[in-house]
């Protein structure tokens, strides 16, 4: 096992205090959006080794079969297939969707063939991997997630007389739900530039004046104020508004259009940078590609329900790259399976990690370790609150 030093991403939407408080640091007034724990090239963790600090990707590359285990190397290559994060949002993130594995491979290959630099602002696919993700709330957490019934959005527009509301009602009146939602989102993402500001501005002004009685009553004006003229503010009406309470989780598979609005959570995802944005951003938006990737099905809110096993709550969604385990809070005695790598983070308290092979390590609030595959099963005991990410495929 190796203690980790992790990097914080200072995105503008980040909270000022949540991550510094976790790490026992004095807030400096700047946004601290995400704490990354893993080997992602964008902000890799550093492992404390006997020979000194070593970037986690270098530790993995030196002895992949020992560090990751042969099954992980065979299935995912010489890379840690997941990334664990602490996410702290004071402001909304972009409205976005992730491609499935086939689309990611095809898109990456096509853009490589066209010679588009991987860091080009207009590039859609930066690697050949998909990016499913699971989010576990640590405090009340607000999100937009997946499509609701088009009839529900249509009802919320009945008291509006502006041009855009009339057009959206027409789109949402189609008998087929998928066709109705596709038509409405397509309209919003492809508004003529000459008319877009007038149409969206008129919609927002009337919406704020009428204030329909619905879960979206306050969110559209708030989003529009943050991103004037952005169609994503109006597109939020098509999505479910979700409040997660501490301990509740969402799983976002490929094609699920979503946006995180506010709160603090633990997130685990497949190691990929593939994000297609629909709005609430100043970054590149490719409407045609996004509309091909979005799943327009009306589905239940994708809550992820845990199973209880060996003293831990195990979240095991349909993603072979990862599983998330929550241990505590309180007095705990738990066991993690030991066939592959793990990243363990103490959210609170003090616990001791006892591997089958190697020395024990004590973790306190904000401290983390990387557990090599050759450490064997891991026992966790003490008084605290801990999360751990492992490879999901090894739990089959």
CA proximity to 389, closest of 36, 75, 60, 62: 36
- Respond yes or no: is residue 103 known to be catalytic: no
| CA 172 – CA 183 distance, rounded (Å) | 8
Strands (E), 80-202: 82-89, 95-97, 133-137, 141-147
Helix (H) or strand (E) holding 265: strand 258-270
- Could you count the other beta carbons within 10 Å of the beta carbon of residue 336? 23
Q: Give bridge partners of residue 241 from the DSSP assignment.
A: 144
Polymer length of the chain: 396
Name the residue with tokens 């963790």.
Answer: 45
**Inter-residue contact 145 to 239 (CB < 8 Å):** yes
| CA 244 – CA 265 distance, rounded (Å) | 10
**Residue 105: strand, helix, or coil:** helix
Query: What are the φ/ψ torsions at residue 384 (nearest 5 degrees)?
Result: 175, -165
**Out of 277, 312, 313, 316, which one is annotated catalytic?**
277
**What is 156-184 written as a DSSP string?**
HTTT--SHHHHHHHHHHTSSSHHHHHHHH
CA proximity to 55, closest of 72, 74, 36, 38: 38
Name the residues annotated as catalytic.
Answer: 277
């Amino acid at each position: 096992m190796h203690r980790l030093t992790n990097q914080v991403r200072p995105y503008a939407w980040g909270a000022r205090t949540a991550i510094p408080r976790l790490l026992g640091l004095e807030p400096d007034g700047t946004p601290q959006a995400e704490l990354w724990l893993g080997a992602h090239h964008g902000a890799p963790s550093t492992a404390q080794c006997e020979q000194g600090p070593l970037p986690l990707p270098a530790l993995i590359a030196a002895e992949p079969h020992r560090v990751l285990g042969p099954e992980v190397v065979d299935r995912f290559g010489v890379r840690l297939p997941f990334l664990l994060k602490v996410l702290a949002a004071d402001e909304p993130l972009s409205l976005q969707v992730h491609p499935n594995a086939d689309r990611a491979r095809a898109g990456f290959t096509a853009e490589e063939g066209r010679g588009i630099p991987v860091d080009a602002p207009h590039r859609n696919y930066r690697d050949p991997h998909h990016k499913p993700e699971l989010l576990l709330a640590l405090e009340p957490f607000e999100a937009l997630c997946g499509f609701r019934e088009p009839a529900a959005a249509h009802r919320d527009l009945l008291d509006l007389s502006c041009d855009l509301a009339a057009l959206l009602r027409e789109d949402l009146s189609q008998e087929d739900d998928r066709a109705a939602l596709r038509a409405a989102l397509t309209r919003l993402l492809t508004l003529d530039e000459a008319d877009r500001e007038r149409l969206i501005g008129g919609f927002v002004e009337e919406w704020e004046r009428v204030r329909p009685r619905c879960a979206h009553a306050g969110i559209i004006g708030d989003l529009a104020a943050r991103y004037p003229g952005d169609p994503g503010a109006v597109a939020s009406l098509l999505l479910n508004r979700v409040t997660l309470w501490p301990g509740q989780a969402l799983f976002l598979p490929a094609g699920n259009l979503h946006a995180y609005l506010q709160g603090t959570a633990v997130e685990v995802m497949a190691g990929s940078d593939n994000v297609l944005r629909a709005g609430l951003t100043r970054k590149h938006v490719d409407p045609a590609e996004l509309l091909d990737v979005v799943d327009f099905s009306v589905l239940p809110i994708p809550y992820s329900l845990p199973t209880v096993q060996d003293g831990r709550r195990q979240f095991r969604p349909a993603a072979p790259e990862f599983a998330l385990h929550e241990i505590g809070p309180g007095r705990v005695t738990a066991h993690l399976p030991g066939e592959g790598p793990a990243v363990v983070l103490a959210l609170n308290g003090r616990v001791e990690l006892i591997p089958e092979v190697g020395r024990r390590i004590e973790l306190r609030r904000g401290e983390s370790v990387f557990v090599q595959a050759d450490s064997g099963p891991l026992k966790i005991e003490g008084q605290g609150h801990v999360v751990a990410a492992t490879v999901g495929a090894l739990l089959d």
